[in-house]
Structure 1
Amino acid sequence: MKINLLAVKISFTVMFLLSSLNVLAQELVNDVTSPLHAMQPDYPIPYGAQSIQEVTATLDRVYNFLESKTASKLIDSKTNKEVVNLKNLDKNTVFEPGVFRLTSYEWGVTYGGMLLATEATGNSKYANYTNKRLKLIADIAPFYNKMLKKDKNYPSPIIQSLHPEALDDAGAVCAAMIKAQRAGLNADLKPLIDNFIAYISNKQFRLPDGTLARNRPQPNTLWLDDLFMSVPALAQMGKLTGDIKYFDDAVKQVRQFSERMFNNQNGLYMHGWVQSMEEHPQFHWARANGWAVMTLVELLEVLPKDHSGYKDVLNQLRAHIKGLVHYQDGTGFWHQLIDRNDTYLETSATAIYAYSITRAINRGYIDKAAYSPVAMLAWNAVSTKVNEKGHVEGTCVGTGMGFDPAFYYYRPIHVYAAHGYGPVMLAGAEIIMLLKNNDFEINDSSLQLKANK
């Protein structure tokens, strides 16, 4: 092979000249000639406060995707025709094809997120998404209850709601139904709500001291996730009925979970606690910590301020947020295992933290000047994960409990992991309310909350 020596000489000459120009540029720009502190950083995500229009555009991408891809009507599975007359329900009746389950706990979060988006924007389309689907569930419940009494194996598209077998089946959807009813939804949700609360209060396994627990993966196991799968529903029921027993149980769960599972040194919760273990391995899984901090803000929203547990819950929220903020990555995200920065950056947990921290700011639970930039950074990070199709990227799939790091490190992510969608709607809605009531500015290159509004 012949080598073109002239070409090689020219190449080296060009490289030398470019290097020389770069050195010259460095010498011409220095701390005397230019304000170097004003140089623009190479941020991996947008920096600064988004506009309300930008936040709304992100929510709309998610809404448009979900409205088109989640069921809102029934069909006959044999004919693929819509079942309009509810008198024609039978064994072949199913929800129209969709990519998410309407009765899952993840969709309970999504229903709540859509309701909050209407509250934040004034646009009824978001709440209509929730109301249309919850009304459909309520309308068909009497038929399937009747048939299941005759035949416990009768096919039903809402079997989880009629016969819950875990807190996952009950709590989040129940809380969303109560919120929708309080917001004025004209549907007979009461039988479903009462059924959910009866399961949470009387049927779910508990430890002798009343702490909600499971017998998997080990006997007498606490799952941090179960705070969210129970407490918001109990709190909403307390608000709906005025019966203090629901508030008492909600506060008891927060206290007793926290006594066992909250690390006061780092401000984080462990994911699981097994009664029989002499040592309690601490894996600080991000989404479980998200469910916990979300539980605290949801409880404070309706817990009477004169309740004996109000200050305890408020202090717990402040301690947890302080711990979480310490571990926020420079990108705005949090890691899959919060305190292990070699685990991947996870979207659903970041969205939950963005929502919870912003709601705590908006409700006056925490210092808004101190925490608003953190919340905005988190939202900016989350918004980069909502693609043009409205998919939420970077969300960890459903996750059990493990006691080794590999289990958490290598959990898959997927755009159809349902856990990401509701938190994005919640976070965006709460950020909009923060933007409506506060001004931000870039002061000496850093995002600051203006103090004069």
Structure 2
Amino acid sequence: MPRLAVLCSAAVLVAPLNAEGPFRNRDNPDLHDEAEGTYPVPYHLPKPEEITAVLERIHANLDRAMATKVVNAKTGAEITDLTTFNADAVASQGERNGFHVMTYATGVTHAGMLAAADATGDARYRDFVARHVEFLGRTIPYFRAQAEQIGAKNSSYRRLFDTNSLDDSGSMCAALIKARFAGIGPDLRPEIKHWADYIRFKEIRIADGTVARHRPQPESLWADDAYMCIPALAQMGRLTGDRAWFDEAAKQAVQIARHLFNPTVGLYMHGRHLNQPLTAEFRWGRANGWVILAQCELLDVLPQDHPLRPEILATYRRHVQALAELQSGAGLWHQLLDKPDSYLESSCTAMFVYAIAHGINRGWISPVTYGSVAQAGWLGLAQQVNAQGQIEGSCVGTTLASDHVYYYNRPTSAHHGHAYGPVLMAGAEMLRLYRNQGKLFDIKLQFRTYHFVPKKS
């Protein structure tokens, strides 16, 4: 049952939090301070070891839940002989079939593990990625040979052998390039090139060149596709040194925003259909999260002199401003960002915490307002990670829909991979944020709240 009650004029479905409230601020030593409030989630300055403990629980859970083995699809028995053809051989999808080794959620998980390895220095996060990349390198030839017999569409690695969407390609492509830069092998350059070429040259586009899908309408634009193409394109620019990859990544960032971003409210609609010129805007949380993650990854590597960089940065800043204004009283954001009677959702919250903390660390936004927003977001998000390292309150896979009822009532599950990479990224970035205390800013507790005060230059 939910442990957090949120009062509003309508019934609220709230994702469960994993510690009992109400909480007092432990940073206030005066236990009799009548002016100190109580909070539905912890409200304090978190210690680095507290953040690290959350990341370690997630790692332990995923290290167990995300199997790297070939199994018989009919019996579940492990197959260790990869020299003999077996039509029933598949890659294990992990616990409750929620963690396949080659999905876009897994690509984000790899990015999160690499971020955690960098932020903590703990080799276990890097080892996790190495185990998965080694498994891919070892099994791709086996499943390729199998696909020649049973057909690529029937293969466990269909996303590689029969690529037909950005979901099949972009996230894993970007993750494999990051692994390559981290020195994690084996070398999967052919697979990287295959997916990158699909994104740049084969994915469907509308007349102005913006990536699109032929579902659910003949020409549909999805905000999700910002993450499913832009990071891979940007990482290819970094990998190859060819500026054309950066140009395409920046073009997609700008044009997706021009089609889907509402500068008045500062949010993205989930998507739109070109056969409907007057579009109702459904502001789904994770769609906005995908975009802001993609913007961060692009801005990290886009040349400073690129002509589209100022527009991308301005859109990012306006987006952050709107998100800060919509944060809930529990630190999390809602499934539908502008609908406070929709439930509090973990995956989008993690994406926003990461993007805001990252922007402060990179100097794109000021810590004055946004430092406290990121901190409050992390404190709420950490309560969604249970003792087993599972992340509760994360919306399952969601299509581009045309009514609020659908979005309001999407189920949540700790056994789908969408939140894991973003929470790892958020925790890693919060560790970096607090390391910048005393360098970029000081954190002062005044009037029972936190002020991130910039250091004088």
TM-score normalised over the length of structure 2: 0.87
The structure-2 alpha-carbon separation of the partners of 1:279 and 1:76, relative to structure 1 and needing over 3 Å to count, comes to closer
1:160 Cα shift? 1.3
1:147 Cα shift? 4.2
Q: For residues 219 and 77 of structure 1, what CA distance do their matches in structure 2 show?
A: 34
Tell which deviates more after alignment, 136-145 or 298-307.
136-145
Q: For residues 318 and 161 of structure 1, what CA distance do their matches in structure 2 show?
A: 36
Residues 70 and 79 in structure 2, CA contact (< 8 A), matched pair in contact too:
yes
Q: Deviations over 1:131-155 (max 9, x none)?
A: 2102211222233334434552585
User: Which residue is equivalent to 2:13?
Assistant: none
User: Which residue is equivalent to 1:283?
Assistant: 282
Which one of the candidate residues 442, 446, 451 is aligned to 1:448? 451
Q: Does 1:261 align with 2:260?
A: yes
Residues 285 and 337 in structure 1, CA contact (< 8 A), matched pair in contact too:
yes
User: Which residue is equivalent to 2:199?
Assistant: 200
Residue 221 of structure 2 aligns to a residue in which SS? strand
Q: Deviations over 1:147-202 (max 9, x none)?
A: 43455258533221232221111101111000000111121210110111111112
Alignment of 1:14-25 (within 5 A): none
1:222 Cα shift? 0.2
Unaligned runs of 5+ in 2: 1-29
Residue 230 of structure 1 aligns to a residue in which SS? helix
The one-letter code sitting in structure 2 at the alignment partner of 1:72 is T
Aligned-residue CA RMSD (Å): 2.1
Q: Does 1:57 align with 2:56?
A: no
The structure-2 alpha-carbon separation of the partners of 1:47 and 1:73, relative to structure 1 and needing over 3 Å to count, comes to same
Residues 285 and 348 in structure 2, CA contact (< 8 A), matched pair in contact too:
yes
1:78 Cα shift? 7.6
User: Which residue is equivalent to 1:418?
Assistant: 417
User: Which residue is equivalent to 1:94?
Assistant: 90
Residues 116 and 428 in structure 2, CA contact (< 8 A), matched pair in contact too:
yes
Q: For residues 77 and 272 of structure 1, what CA distance do their matches in structure 2 show?
A: 36
Q: For residues 221 and 342 of structure 2, what CA distance do their matches in structure 1 show?
A: 24
User: Which residue is equivalent to 2:356?
Assistant: 357
Tell which deviates more after alignment, 66-75 or 429-438.
66-75
Q: For residues 124 and 423 of structure 1, what CA distance do their matches in structure 2 show?
A: 19
Residue 351 of structure 1 aligns to a residue in which SS? helix
Q: For residues 369 and 269 of structure 1, what CA distance do their matches in structure 2 show?
A: 25
User: Which residue is equivalent to 2:111?
Assistant: 112
Residue 277 of structure 2 aligns to a residue in which SS? coil
Residues 83 and 89 in structure 1, CA contact (< 8 A), matched pair in contact too:
no
Residue 38 of structure 2 aligns to a residue in which SS? coil
Residues 162 and 195 in structure 1, CA contact (< 8 A), matched pair in contact too:
no
Query: As a proportion of its length, which structure holds more helix?
Result: 1
The one-letter code sitting in structure 2 at the alignment partner of 1:449 is F
Q: Percent identity?
A: 39
Tell which deviates more after alignment, 323-332 or 432-441.
432-441
Alignment of 1:21-170 (within 5 A): 39-75=35-71, 82-84=78-80, 86-88=82-84, 90-96=86-92, 98-99=94-95, 100-149=99-148, 151-153=150-152, 156-170=155-169
Residue 397 of structure 1 aligns to a residue in which SS? coil
Residue 343 of structure 1 aligns to a residue in which SS? coil
Residue 298 of structure 2 aligns to a residue in which SS? helix
Moved over 6 A (4+): 34-37, 78-81
Higher Rg of the two aligned structures = 1
Residues 367 and 453 in structure 2, CA contact (< 8 A), matched pair in contact too:
no
The one-letter code sitting in structure 2 at the alignment partner of 1:65 is N
User: Which residue is equivalent to 1:316?
Assistant: 315
Q: For residues 236 and 180 of structure 2, what CA distance do their matches in structure 1 show?
A: 11
Q: For residues 373 and 221 of structure 2, what CA distance do their matches in structure 1 show?
A: 30
The structure-2 alpha-carbon separation of the partners of 1:273 and 1:97, relative to structure 1 and needing over 3 Å to count, comes to closer
Q: Size of the alignment, in residue pairs?
A: 420
Q: For residues 365 and 453 of structure 2, what CA distance do their matches in structure 1 show?
A: 16
The one-letter code sitting in structure 2 at the alignment partner of 1:194 is K
Q: For residues 409 and 191 of structure 1, what CA distance do their matches in structure 2 show?
A: 41
Q: For residues 31 and 65 of structure 2, what CA distance do their matches in structure 1 show?
A: 52
Q: For residues 296 and 153 of structure 2, what CA distance do their matches in structure 1 show?
A: 39
User: Which residue is equivalent to 2:238?
Assistant: 239
